[in-house]
Chain A
Amino acid sequence: MSKFMSIYEKPALLTIMAVIVIAVGTIVTMVVPLFMKDMTPHNENNHPYTPLELEGRDIYIREGCNNCHTQTVRPFPDEQTRYGKVSETWEFEYDRPFLWGSKRTGPDLARIGGKYPDKWHYEHFKDPRSIVLASIMPSYAFLEKNPLDTTYTLKKMETLDYPYTQNELIALEGKTEMDALVAYLQRIGNTQKPEAGTKAEQIIPADAKNPYSADKAAIEKGEHIYMEKCSACHGKDLKGSIGPNLIDAEWLFGGTERDIFISIYDGSPKGMPSWGNKISNDDIWKVSAFIESIAAGEKEEKAVPAFKLPDNTKNPFEGNADAIKTGKEIFLKNCAVCHKEDATGNIGPDLTDEEWEYGSRDNQIFETIYNGVEAEGMPKWGKNISDDNIWKVISFIRSVAKKK
């Protein structure tokens, strides 16, 4: 015992013993994992940050966003409903430092990318309480005034060994700090494929009707929910701001009671969050009852129904060379501003690819041009261009699409 006790007479020996004792747990739980593959798995969907995203991430770090927001979804049903798919190890391969956080004063951000449109984030950063009334988040309006400092961007990309293009670096010119931060937020969690959660189609019968259409108390409750959760994007008057107008009788995703329920439940990839299970199905019906009640009042004032054609109407000028030529002239004059001279899209979408947001049949394209898409800024051309000329423009669009 006395020999053993001599350790307490020798500071160097005691120090060495202490180092050995702390080394055991350190080696097993911290050093060994550094060499284990399951700590750094790679997934082909994952990719490093772009220069703009990386600069945005550094602003996220600078402002200490991780003090209030976590970036890991835990494997519980409530978190999957509230935030999205459970976080996986490979998603964080390029994160230096990691930003998982330890406190949720604000919500988790692991799946924030793509949840809202950019404009939502700009408005929210400038004045959080204009979007979320109960929010206690600081205002970050100053980020919009600060030009992005790109002095070290190149060095950062090289140090981290992330691929980049000269164009990406040039594109940083003129960006603000807020631009970068929004770009980063829209990237978070985006390499993960969204989970195939419950879709409204699975829970709602084909002939579903709103049970609250004429229920005053329910409509009032719906109004309350709308004002709290929907009005920031669709406006207190329902006429839209970040999101589309809800009372102009134009429904992007269908206007039946069932369609509206589905739109609210599933959300849309364009930045409408999915509300399914975040509020009860009952509450979804109540909100739509409220919207319908306001829309019905509006309709009486200006009931101009959208122009419709029979489903299998064909373009009378399909393939006609003269018509394509005329169509091109009309297109260059009226449409190229948004869709570009070669119709590959700029402000408006690409018209030469396979994707038709509002339907690819001749009659659907005609209706889209004729009626316009107010929420997207596409004018109602039916008032200014004759029906024949609309068909000719379609012929032109079809001709450039085919060439591809």
Chain B
Amino acid sequence: MKDSPTYDFSSSRGFLLSSLLWGTAGLVLGFYLAMEFLHPQLNFAPWITYGRLRAAHVNGLAIGFGAGTIIGLSYYMVQRLSKATLFAPRLARFNLYFFNVTALLAVVSLLAGMTSSKEYAELEWPLDIMVVAVWVMFAISFFGTLYRRKEKQMYVALWYMIGTIVTVAVIYIVNNLEVPISLFKSYSVFSGANDANVQWWYGHNMVAFLFTTPVIGFFYYFFPLSVKLPIYSHRISIIGFWSLVFAYLWTGAHHLIYTPLPDWIETVAIAFSIFLIAPSWATVINAFYTMNGNWEKMKSNYLTKFFVIGMFFYALQTIQGPAQALRAWSRIVHYTDYIIGHVHMGTMGWVTLTTCGSIYYVASKLGSKGIYSEKLANIHFWLVLVGQLIYTISMWIAGIVQGFRWKETGADGSLVYAFNDLLKFNMPFWSARSAGGLLYLIGFMIFIYNVWMTLKISPESDVKRADL
């Protein structure tokens, strides 16, 4: 015990609590957006029209919840895995405040119509700089701690975080290269087809390195700790890591199939998208083999199901995604609600189940008395699971029907369905989506309450102690 370092988890806790706040805000905006499909009158002021609100929803969740949990959980993992205290804790503390200011200004500026229009990169240039600053401060704390480590080997979770930190930095900066006109307006340095190609190289790798690699990192760290089982194969995790980070960067153009982009770029992207099944499923297989013979833990340990079912959705997601990249399937489902279902299975299924499981674990470690209520955690799990399934399945059905009906022609070659006929068809599915989203939101609120109560029973002094 004498050699044990003193950990500093206060910034970690701050980031996690902040991310829960932004998560709630993002989900509430998402629910409102879903309602706008049913009642267009809800677009009653410029600030909350669908076109502006959607960007606020996406960025609120990607930056506020996504980046917030990545930084918060990384500050925890990197200290534990290095057996070293956080490097420059005051910088981390400043970063926490700066992060929240950035997230707030991000949402407000998007609602005000300051946008560069590029998906997941909507923020205008002053906010881009703030986001990069948050990330650089995160990187300094992370690598600084890593250099203090007393453990010689870096565990696989840390590789995934390293991959996340460098790749997000590269893609974010390149895609946001723009010429400022004023504080609120800029133009992309790329134009036309190049701009599209750069954007989706970025867009797909934002999905990869904000919603996949860090979450796999969480999984490799918090899953074995939570279920108290060793990971099945270290070798699979090595192969999985390198092949995943290699292949992802080739696949962006599968978002642009049948657009005026040269065919070869699309074809290369499709080929690598299919290849991606291999590294993705390496992680899946590693996870399920770890559970092999221990499935009773699904019942006996409340955290197990968050990770296992989360991984199940990752498995599904990484089959669905490559399938969508195929020209034959893309021509049907691209531009429809099917894609919305796909994205939300990834985020509401895989990402948040795994992240919430990890946060439960950290919270119960930071709170000296363990989790506040396992029962509430179970209710949370079932609400978000059912909510997500209602959401995604209704969007898949709506999207597939939409895709086929857009193409349907009659005997004389005329279109059978007008565009508006399918708006009417989608209405019940959009209603179901709202209901699913509401269940999910309620589940998330229960999660926050549970985490809050767990942390509340741990005084500040507990957060800085040697033996957790």
Contact = CB atoms under 8 A, between A and B. Distances in A.
A133 B421 CA distance: 11
Interface stretch (A95-103, A350-358, A361-369, A383-391): A95-103
Contacts of B163: 18, 22
Contacts of A39: 192-194, 197, 261-262
A9 B373 CA distance: 39
Given A22-B170, A34-B194, A63 B113 contact: yes
B366 to A, nearest CB: 26
B340 A78 contact: no
Interface string A30-56: 100110101110000000000000000
Given A25-B250, A92-B260, A281-B414, A97 B117 contact: yes
Given A18-B167, A97-B199, A61 B115 contact: yes
Among B179, B251, B414, the one with the most A-chain Cβ atoms within 10 Å of its Cβ is B414
B412 interface: yes
A116 to B, nearest CB: 14
Contacts of A26: 170, 201, 249
A138 B50 contact: yes
A160 to B, nearest CB: 6
B135 interface: no
Contacts of A34: 190, 194, 198
Contacts of A15: 162, 166
Given A92-B192, A135-B423, A72 B152 contact: no
Interface in B394-442: 406-415, 418-421, 423-424
A103 B336 CA distance: 6
B306 to A, nearest CB: 28
B418 A97 contact: no
Given A97-B199, A100-B256, A62 B115 contact: yes
Contact of B192 (A40, A101, A134): A40
Given A87-B259, A159-B187, A65 B339 contact: no
20 contacts: A11-B162, A15-B166, A21-B242, A21-B245, A39-B193, A61-B115, A62-B113, A63-B49, A63-B51, A64-B49, A66-B51, A67-B54, A77-B409, A98-B193, A101-B335, A138-B43, A277-B412, A277-B414, A279-B414, A282-B412
Given A15-B166, A134-B423, 17 more contacts: A25-B249, A26-B249, A63-B49, A63-B51, A67-B50, A72-B258, A72-B259, A74-B258, A78-B415, A89-B192, A92-B191, A95-B191, A102-B255, A104-B335, A136-B423, A277-B415, A283-B414
Interface string A280-297: 111100000000000000
A140 B406 CA distance: 27
Contact of A278 (B170, B201, B261, B418): B418
A18 B265 contact: no
A334 interface: no
Contacts of A101: 335
A75 interface: yes
Contacts of A29: 197, 201, 249-250, 252-253, 265, 268-269
Contacts of B246: 21-22, 24-25
B50 A97 contact: no
B116 interface: yes
Contacts of A151: 182
A97 to B, nearest CB: 4
A58 to B, nearest CB: 7
Nearest to A9: B152
A67 B33 CA distance: 12
Contacts of A179: none
Interface of B: 36-38, 40, 43, 46, 49-52, 54-55, 113-119, 143, 146-147, 152-154, 159, 162-163, 166-167, 170, 179, 181-182, 185, 187-199, 201, 242, 245-253, 255-256, 258-262, 265, 268-269, 272, 331, 335-336, 339-340, 406-415, 418-421, 423-424
Contacts of B272: 25
A283 B415 CA distance: 11
A152 interface: yes
A139 B415 contact: no
A100 B259 contact: yes
Contact of A107 (B194, B250, B260, B419): B419
Closest 4 CB pairs of A and B: A64-B51, A25-B249, A138-B43, A92-B192
Contact of A74 (B162, B245, B331, B415): B331
A134 B260 CA distance: 31
A38 B260 CA distance: 10
B154 A8 contact: yes
Interface of A: 8-9, 11, 14-15, 18-19, 21-26, 28-30, 33-34, 36, 38-40, 58, 61-68, 70, 72, 74-79, 81-82, 87-89, 91-107, 128-129, 132-140, 142, 151-152, 155-156, 159-160, 229, 276-283
Contact of B182 (A81, A129, A152): A152
Contact of A98 (B36, B195, B248, B252): B195
Nearest to B411: A280
Given A25-B250, A39-B262, A78-B407, A93 B192 contact: yes
Contacts of B162: 11, 14-15, 18
Contacts of B410: 280
Contact of B37 (A14, A76, A136, A280): A136
Nearest to A20: B246
Nearest to B416: A280
Nearest to A26: B249
Contacts of A160: 187
Contacts of B36: 136, 138
A67 B122 CA distance: 11
B236 to A, nearest CB: 15
B406 A68 contact: no
A70 B249 contact: no
Contacts of B189: 96
Contacts of A135: 40, 420, 423
Nearest to B255: A102
B335 A103 contact: yes
A101 B203 CA distance: 12
B242 A96 contact: no
Contact of A40 (B46, B115, B117, B193): B193
B170 A19 contact: yes
Contacts of B114: 62
A75 B262 CA distance: 13
B38 to A, nearest CB: 8
A9 B251 CA distance: 30
Given A63-B49, A82-B415, A104-B336, A137 B40 contact: yes
B195 A9 contact: no
Contacts of B201: 26, 29-30
A92 B43 contact: no
Contact of A28 (B54, B154, B268): B268
Contacts of A74: 258-259, 331
A121 B428 CA distance: 29
B279 to A, nearest CB: 12
A332 to B, nearest CB: 48
Contact of B49 (A28, A102, A138): A138
A78 B415 CA distance: 7
Contacts of A280: 410-412, 414
A142 B47 CA distance: 11
